[in-house]
Structure 1
Amino acid sequence: MPVSAAFLSLPPLVVAFPVIDPVAVSIGPLAIRWYALAYIAGLVGGWFYARRLVAASSLWGNVRRPTGADIDDMLLYVALGVILGGRIGYILFYSPGQYLEDPLSIFAVWQGGMAFHGGLAGAAIAMFLLARARGLLVLSLFDVAATVAPIGIFFGRIANFINGELWGRPAPDLPFAMVFPHGGPLPRHPSQLYEAFAEGLLLFILLAVVVRIVGFRRPGLVTGVFAVGYAVARSVCEFFREPDPQLGFLFGTQVSALEGGITMGMVLSLPLLIAGIWLIVRALSRQPSTQETVS
């Protein structure tokens, strides 16, 4: 894999950002990018873990569980939902003007431009359609997907870091601040790594603990915990992440590295937080290990 050994010339106390080629493997005209590998690793890792979860009957009680074949099909449905939803979400939420001026650039996905909240909505719609077609419990399918989702989030944020994109706010006094290749001369928070840790690793551990204690016997509970956990983690990380340049702060302005206005990431996380709380309350108010109808 082509990895440049070049490092940026930085002042003391600033960690050098390793300039890594965004193309992981190149064979003739075929180029495989780290971003694509991150999507593949997240989907395959999630698929493998999900199959183990549905195979563990002790986690389900009397709740109908998806089969291994259902999980196999969910992989394709979710992949399409994430890609289409992520792209559409980015266009609608982050840069509608650009794509109105140049509609053909909508299809230039290799230039970047994916929104997590859009991908999440796309995946949810795809799983809803799959559950309806198979007569599965919608919330149970969501619970499985929510448990494995942080795997994909983790790899996606690592890919953001490798690409040197979505960098953090200026932090000149931070010992491990970095100067990103396209982020100007100021040392910045490596906010991609913060998000990989909080939205990926920590959320994965939290959900694994919930599944170990409660299992999937309360449909919607794990989905609710994921929604609340992601919304909180993303909102906290937004205090360290530089707002998208075409949007900036929606309300207020930045005062320091840890202060600032409201960003689009925070706004989009609010309905996720509310929905997650509602799902948790709903799940805990019902008796566990009961068979439910599709809804």
Structure 2
Amino acid sequence: MHYAIPFPDISPDVFSLDLGVFVFTLRWYALAYIAGIVGGWAMGRWLIGRPALWPGGRAPMTRAQLEDVMTWAVLGIILGGRLGYVLFYQPEVYLAEPMRILAVWEGGMSFHGGALGTAIAVGIYALRQKIPLWSMLDLASVVAPLGLGLGRLANFVNAELWGRPTELPWGVIFPGPAAQACANVGEFCARHPSQLYQATLEGAVLLILLWIVALRGGLRRGGLILGIFVAGYGVARTFVETFRQADAQYITPDNPLGHVLGGAEVGLTMGQVLSLPMVAVGLVLILIARRRNA
């Protein structure tokens, strides 16, 4: 007999309103996006209001420009996240049915695609407005973990992206036949709450680390915050992938862990394949930033 935690009775919907013509439903996942964007804007506004934190004692942009760039960032998150999922995880499905790419309500967003899309979007805005590119990317990086953490909490509420089976006492009994489809189990299947692992490491821990560095002069070293964010996320995601259930399309009877590189027992998941290069890129960015500002 092993102990586990029953999944809490939480609805994925915050509330619903019957408007006659249609029913409006606000979901926790959408609220997480909204809260992450608004919270990121508020933190960015606070940082811009403190010129001493920036190179030369001057903020890289005005608060009006910050509000403008948030629109670009939102587009980068949505378009990049969706296209990243399509290209990285299920290209054959969406190439066969291209119109399904627009069906975002079915789910399917990629962090790696969203991060790349956001970087491109805010980078273009910075170049158009003659804002220092490194400072723009540093600002985006220092606020990004808030949205990441909230998004992972929403994944937990939705009972999705759960972890591999475990007999540890903090394993969670997620609902649904897919979550309970574990081999050689008794009356229930408990799984790692990998969403909460990610919310802690990619969200809370990374956010605290970046703010400590930022308030200690890190924003004056162009690219340093960006490098720490990229490497930090890569390390956190690579680690948590060892507890997270792989996407269903990669799991077969001969490959139960869903590795896309290596063997069935020892290998890398798609999340690790996409995250390990981030560690290398982040370390290079940190080295360049330190040398540039030496």
TM (norm. structure 1) is 0.89
* 1:47-103 residue CA offsets vs partner (Å, 9 max, x unmatched): 100110111111014165121112111211111100000000000000112112222
Deviating above 3 A after TM superposition, structure 1's stretches of 4 or more consecutive aligned residues are 252-255
* 1:188-208 residue CA offsets vs partner (Å, 9 max, x unmatched): 000000000000000001101
Find 2:180's aligned residue among 178, 184, 197: 184
What letter matches 1:187 in structure 2?
A
Q: Percent same amino acid among aligned pairs?
A: 47
For the aligned residue pairs, the C-alpha RMSD in angstroms reads 1.5
Q: Tell me if 1:114 matches 2:109.
A: yes
Equivalents in 2 of 1:254, 1:197: separation in Å? 28
Find 1:23's aligned residue among 6, 10, 13: 13
Find 1:94's aligned residue among 85, 89, 98: 89
Equivalents in 1 of 2:249, 2:71: separation in Å? 33
Equivalents in 2 of 1:141, 1:253: separation in Å? 41
* Pairing of 1:149-164 with structure 2 (within 5 A): 149-164=144-159
1:64/1:136 contact within 8 Å kept: no
* Pairing of 1:136-285 with structure 2 (within 5 A): 136-171=131-166, 173-182=167-176, 183-185=179-181, 186-247=189-250, 248-253=258-263, 255=265, 260-285=266-291
Shift of 1:12: 5.6
Q: Which residues of structure 1 form unaligned runs of 5+?
A: 1-10, 289-295
CA 1:269 to 1:12, structure 2 compared with 1: closer, same or farther past 3 Å? Answer: closer
Find 2:34's aligned residue among 35, 40, 51: 40
Secondary structure class of the residue paired with 2:25: strand
Find 1:132's aligned residue among 127, 131, 135: 127
Shift of 1:271: 2.5
Equivalents in 1 of 2:94, 2:67: separation in Å? 34
Equivalents in 2 of 1:61, 1:246: separation in Å? 47
CA 1:99 to 1:136, structure 2 compared with 1: closer, same or farther past 3 Å? Answer: same
Equivalents in 2 of 1:237, 1:73: separation in Å? 35
Equivalents in 2 of 1:83, 1:184: separation in Å? 31
Shift of 1:125: 0.6
What letter matches 1:58 in structure 2?
A
Equivalents in 2 of 1:243, 1:61: separation in Å? 43
Shift of 1:215: 3.5
Equivalents in 2 of 1:163, 1:82: separation in Å? 20
Shift of 1:281: 0.6
Equivalents in 2 of 1:253, 1:168: separation in Å? 20
Bigger mean CA offset, 12-21 vs 204-213:
12-21
Q: Tell me if 1:72 matches 2:49.
A: no
TM (norm. structure 2) is 0.89
Q: Which residues of structure 2 form unaligned runs of 5+?
A: 182-188, 251-257
1:35/1:159 contact within 8 Å kept: yes
Equivalents in 1 of 2:71, 2:15: separation in Å? 24
**Match in the other structure for 1:287:** 293
**Match in the other structure for 1:3:** none
